[in-house]
Amino acid sequence: MPTIDFKDIGDVLNYEYRQGTIVSVNGADDTCVVTVDGSSTTALIFYH
């Protein structure tokens, strides 16, 4: 699982999180296609 290694609190405060819509799920490799602001990208699904 990739992680975000922030250097300091400034990096944390400047990080931008975005909300998207899951379009499809690939259960074989735990990824999904997400649409954010009109463009699609592949993302990892992380769950406990």
pLDDT at 38: 93
pTM here?
A: 0.61
**Averages of pLDDT over each 10 residues, the chain, 48 residues:** 81 88 94 95 83
Strands 21-26 and 31-36: antiparallel
